[in-house]
Structure 1
Amino acid sequence: MEASTLDAVRLSMGLQQMRAELASSNIARAGAPGLRAHTLDFSRLEGLLTAYGEGRASAADLQQGLAELRALSPREGSTEASALGLDAQVAEMASASMNYQTLGDALSRQFSLMRLAVTGRS
């Protein structure tokens, strides 16, 4: 597995983790009157992953994307947290968690296959 592919998986897993944390934070804030929901714009990093999958982004682009991911911090949005649809936030958190788990499982299978190829046994 190429290092850039691992970077793409790491970036994707990081995005899913941030999505789950953001939804979790918004759920926790929903009961506090006057607090605003937190927001993050993931579109650039999602676009970078799409571009990498289509061969339009390089390993250096992924490295820059990972640095951007580390620098992301939630901002207070314009929506009051109590006005958020809790069902939508729970669904977002569950979706991000499932995506993260799926990526982890695929990575684990890939490493298992690599171990089998190297050692000749499972």
Structure 2
Amino acid sequence: MDNITVIEIFSALAQGTRLDAFRLLVQHAPEGLAAGELARRLDVPHNTLSAHLAVLSRAGLVVSQRQSRSIIYRASLERMQATLGFLVHDCCAGRPELCAPLLEALQPECHFREEGTS
């Protein structure tokens, strides 16, 4: 990954609807969401969302796959991981103890439901 690629990625995310769409897709990884459901949840017209998803797709942040009559969009977690890795590659000039707070902050707050609970 290089500076130009990272700038393209951040440019794609530097718009409210696109950022909201990407974050929603991350929440629904790895299954993704159908384009219509994504538009409904974001309260955005389908054609507007389509344009935003195209920008995210060109940046490599989302991938799409046709399933029957729907197009399912998924966040590219690999692209997000590569971007974050690029940003922190030389974190703290080789002193990993200084990066501990950053690494802790990057831990996802996944809340798993225990079996047998609803």
TM-score range, shorter chain: 0.3 to 0.5
- Larger Rg computed on CA atoms: 1
TM-score (norm 2): 0.33
Higher relative contact order (CA 8 A, sep 6+): 1
TM-score (norm 1): 0.32
Structure whose residues are more often helix by fraction: 1
